[in-house]
Structure 1
Amino acid sequence: MKKQAFNPYLPSWEYIPDGEPYVFGDRVYIYGSHDFYNGYVFCMGDYVCWSAPVDDLGNWRYEGVIYPKTSDPLNRDGKMCLYAPDVTVGPDGRYYLYYVLDHVSIVSVAVCDTPAGTYEFYGYVHYEDGTRLGEKPGDEPQFDPGVLTEGEDTYLYTGFCARGDKSRTGAMVTVLGPDMLTIKKAPQRVAPGCEYSAGTGFEGHEFFEAPSIRKRDNTYYFIYSSIVMHELCYAVSDHPTGGFVYGGVIVSNCDLHIDSYKPADMPAAYGANNHGSMVQIGEDWYIFYHRHTNNTWYSRQGCAEKLTIREDGSIEQAEITSCGLNGGPLKGKGEYPAYLACNLFTDVPSVYVGKSNVPRVMQDGRDGDEEPGYIANFTESATAGFKYFLCEDIHEISIWVRGYGNGFFEVKTSWNGEVLAKLPVQNTNVWEKYTAPVSIPDGVQAIYLTYRGDGAPSLRSFELA
């Protein structure tokens, strides 16, 4: 029996951001960096891989560590972090993993015979004279490689462009030969950074980081994180090495610009940097991205949403949900963990994480402990939104709450809608269940829980019955 698919799509104790999804055979594989729960910097772990059957996207399997960070000859002591990787299949049918360590500006490559086996260090991307890409005079520092192989050519996209840094001009593409290492065509710019965007059409959504490339029919989609960081944007071209035209925003991890259920300029979650890409699974296309937990930049989790691609190839911005890979709304019955919240905010919304006294997804224990996630720090007006559920004959709602707080949770089907029920809660050191009658209209609905009162209790889960 197929499992329901949620956001985040991996277990709540796993932190795999920067996800590059690929379908190999009858499974979809996710390659990303590896954050730690409560980590103090980005990407502290080894590369691991997860996969799921293409026809059962709620049933993810841990494939294990595919590449320890000490495998690179420059990092035998493990002092550097493995930043966001990408994978491509070479002309020889093997799988090539491209990555950059956090304290160097060159591109490393590892190789494996299978999608999720143990990758072995292979070499560094270099010019014909042996000079490594990123070390030749005039090269821009290498960062966040994205790769696409067609025939014997591999297109390598890299770059990072911060505001105010005129030494970095934009995202670059470098063409590699069939050995997957040797440069066949020197880097050239495909998308501008904010210091060089005037008159390009990218203004306001200039390239920042996270270059990724996909091909759909005869169109190349360049996916990237824009200068505002919370967006994944795209540009299109009929050639992989140039001519890219800005297309729009694919997803924002704070849902900015979406106006279907809120004002377009209202952030509905705490965002920050974003990284991911598109993949076709069956007949549908999805965007994979990440969210931020624990009110920090350094504990990110993968999410995904189904895309609407118009007849002309343009992409409609995806709304962030709790049911992205499910193929439709979740069942409107049963218990659901609070960490599935796709909306999280207070009466003073914020685009970015890091504000004090705000609700946050977290867990007990340390990184690696398989402890379920929950939402902590429900202060006055804190709201968690869960979307969407196919409701029928809902007459009761229960919540599990712990912590110090005297007040009540309001139940609504929209963030500013009518209060359908109130669940009084009180101080408790353990998870306590509270139940109230409720009448939720039949059909596809969102569930919003807003806290009113003193203190800052935590929410573990809710149940519809």
Structure 2
Amino acid sequence: MTKQMKKQGFNPYLPSWEYIPDAEPYVFGDRVYIYGSHDRFNGHAFCLNDYVCWSAPVDNLADWRYEGVIYRKTDDPLNPDGRMCLYAPDVTVGPDGRYYLYYVLDKVPVVSVAVSDTPAGKFEFYGYVRYPDGTRLGEREGDQPQFDPGVLTEGDRTYLYTGFCAVGDRSRKGAQATVLGPDMLTIVEEPVFVLPSEPYSEGTGFEGHEFFEAPSIRKVGDKYYLIYSSVVMHELCYAVSDHPTKGFKYGGVIVSNCDLHIDTYKPANKPMYYGGNNHGSIVEINGQWYIFYHRQTNGTHYSRQGCLEPIEILEDGSIPQVEMTSCGPNGGPLVGRGEYPAYIACNLFYKDEEMYTGTYGAWMDGRFPKITQDGKDGDEEIGYIMNMRDSATAGFKYFDCKGIKQVKIKVRGYCRGEFQVKTAWDGPVLGTIPVDFTNIWTEYTADIAIPDGVHALYFTYTGEGNASLASFTLI
């Protein structure tokens, strides 16, 4: 009897029809849970859907389970008609052993809290973070508007980190830390600034990587790591301190969702995906540390998907930046055999270089390829790449290639040309696969030998019209 191969892990790590950005990962028991906001496919704004939760066994990051809706936007008393969105949340375990969900609605400056007896909910509204006199944090004169709460509980104290600071906005001084008491709501130490915004960064060591949004706190050994999105948006940075509310020093970039700064396979300043805002955190799972982050899809900022990569925390506490890959959850390269969906592309670009998704508006223009799906939000349709015009390239990393003699692709669209196959974006063409006009998914195969070894695979379309790529098969 043939032994069945264990399912492999891809990026994005959830099904291609699910859109969970801003993920906060936590290990509770023998499972890892993610708590994020919930985008809508083809949505017109961020975070339009209710909170849901997914979890996976700590020993298999390819086996994610849908835990269901854990909190609805209408569960907050300030939002009975649902006109406000649930922005990025975080979760912590309180002194009473219950699970507390912290979040901000998109049109109010206060932090809401919900609670559950179990990590997968359902959560129930609990209250608002407040000063001892009952005034809600964010509503007292002089308060900064609250945004993107991140939380860490130690003993009977919970450290709450918040903030949103646009470039040039002198009214926002940076990320804040506020200390809450054992009821998880009442402030026992007033807010202090822990990371600088751009107007206040001179001489701090954060210049060029100032705080923008998405503070997320983790403790590694006896050090506090504050993960955050910088003013350039596409990167997740970290700062380190011996104390939770002071002394944070800039550490570096952990990941960029356009792979900027990486120079191992391309120039450091060359973007290899269409970036945008970023939000996530680090977590240790089965002895391995990971960074969870998100990417933009569908040519907009409003349909984001979660990805993850293994990271290394060095003896000196530093975290080297990691590449975006297709195989982050897999624990190593993917098997160089069989069919792979095109939506796992970690590189996607065109001859007209562009760093950001929708730089000049909410949507990218018709020049650029994008990862998308058929159907409407919630339809379990497998994602694919569309609008691959002449020079458009999709890259996939990495594969353990052995004895590959043929490559097959599944394509549709008004296109007449060929797909070039390479193992480096700027490397020699190993072979070409001609394609032609078709309204249905059509398979094309060519004899193309891929050298043995661990390689990236790049597919570049050259020709007329535009092609959609559903998958490729290594034979």
Shorter chain as normaliser: what TM range?
A: over 0.9
C-alpha separation in 1, matches of 2:330 and 2:373: 24
Distance 1:261 1:358 in 2: 22
Equivalent in the alignment of 2:321: 317
CA distance in 1, matches of 2:425, 2:313: 28
Q: Is the 8 Å Cα contact of residues 128 and 183 (structure 1) preserved in structure 2?
A: yes
SS at match of 1:266: coil
Task: Say whether the 8 Å CA contact 1:89–1:95 is kept in structure 2.
Answer: yes
The answer to whether 1:268 aligns with 2:268 is no
2:315, 2:451 → 1: CA distance? 34
Shift of 1:2: 3.4
> 1:172 maps to which residue?
176
Q: Secondary structure at the match of 2:136?
A: coil
Question: Matched residues in 2 for 1:226 and 1:53: separation?
Answer: 31
Larger mean Cα displacement after TM superposition, 141-150 or 354-363: 354-363
Letter matched to residue 53 of structure 1: P
SS in 2 for 1:70: helix
Q: Which amino acid aligns with 1:69?
A: K
Alignment-derived partner of residue 300 in structure 2: 296
Q: Counterparts in 2 of 1:372-387, with a 5 A limit?
A: 372-387=382-397
**Structure 1 counterpart of 2:361:** none
- Structure 1 residue identity aligned to 2:192: Q
2:268 aligned with 1:241: no
Alignment counterpart, residue 409 of structure 2, candidates 399, 404, 409: 399
Contact 1:2 1:59 in 2 (8 A): no
For 1:48 and 1:168, how far apart are their aligned partners in 2? 31
CA distance in 2, matches of 1:47, 1:334: 35
Q: Report the Cα offset of residue 405 of structure 1.
A: 0.5
Question: In 2, distance between residues paired with 1:98 and 1:316?
Answer: 30
What are the equivalent positions in structure 2 for 1:206-285 lying under 5 Å apart?
Answer: 206-285=210-289
User: What CA distance in whole angstroms lies between the structure 2 residues aligned with 1:213 and 1:348?
Assistant: 38
1:9 maps to which of 7, 13, 38: 13
Q: Secondary structure at the match of 1:180?
A: coil
- Between the aligned partners of 1:290 and 1:94, the Cα distance in structure 2 is 28
Native 8 Å contact 1:6 1:325 kept in 2: yes
Letter of the 1:439 partner, please give it: A
Give the superposition deviation at 1:181.
Answer: 0.1
Per-residue deviation at 1:163?
Answer: 1.1
Q: What code does the residue aligned with 2:390 have?
A: E
Assess if the C-alpha contact under 8 Å between 1:2 and 1:56 holds in 2: no
SS of the counterpart of 1:297?
A: coil
Q: Contact conserved, 1:5 with 1:326, CA < 8 A, in 2?
A: yes
Q: 1:416 aligns with which of 426, 432, 437?
A: 426
Q: Which amino acid aligns with 1:242?
A: K
Gaps of 5+ in 2: 359-363
The one-character-per-residue Cα deviations of 1:105-151 (angstroms, maximum 9, x if unpaired) are 00000000000021000000000000000011111000000000000
8 Å Cα contact 1:105/1:141 also seen in 2: yes
Tell me the CA shift for residue 347 of structure 1.
1.7
Question: Aligned equivalents of 1:274 and 1:330: distance in 2?
Answer: 25
Per-residue CA deviation, residues 249-301 of structure 1 (Å, 9 max, x unaligned), is: 00000000001111100000000000000000011100000000011000000
1:458 to 434, 447, 468: 468
Q: What is residue 148 of structure 2 aligned with on the other side?
A: 144
1:426 alignment partner, one of 430, 436, 461: 436
Q: Deviations along 1:292-313, whole A, 9 cap, x unmatched?
A: 0011000000000000221101
What is the rounded CA distance, in whole Å, between the counterparts of 2:453 and 2:174 in structure 1?
A: 46
Three-state SS of the structure 2 residue aligned to 1:316 is coil
Letter of the 1:129 counterpart: D
Q: Distance in 1 between matches of 2:259 and 2:460?
A: 19
- Name the aligned partner's letter for residue 161 of structure 1: C
Letter in 2 for 1:114: T
- Alpha-carbon distance, 1:218 to partner: 0.7
Counterpart-to-counterpart distance in 2, 1:300 and 1:170:
25
1:202 corresponds, among 189, 200, 206, to: 206
Match of 1:134 in 2: 138
Unaligned runs of 5+ in 1: none
Per the TM alignment, residue 3 of structure 1 is displaced from its structure 2 partner at its CA by: 1.8
How far 1:51 sits from its partner (Å)? 0.2
Task: Give the partner amino acid of 2:52.
Answer: V
Is 1:390 the equivalent of 2:407?
A: no
Q: What TM-score do the two structures reach when normalised by structure 2? A: 0.97
Q: Structure 1 residue 42: deviation in Å?
A: 0.1
RMSD of aligned C-alpha atoms?
A: 0.6
Partner Cα separation in structure 1 for residue 388 and residue 433 of structure 2: 14
Give 3-state SS (helix, strand or coil) of 1:199's partner. Answer: coil
Letter in 2 for 1:149: T
What CA distance in whole angstroms lies between the structure 2 residues aligned with 1:393 and 1:197? 54
The percent identity for this pair of structures is 71
Deviation string, structure 1 residues 426-447 (Cα, Å, up to 9, x no partner): 1000000000011111111110
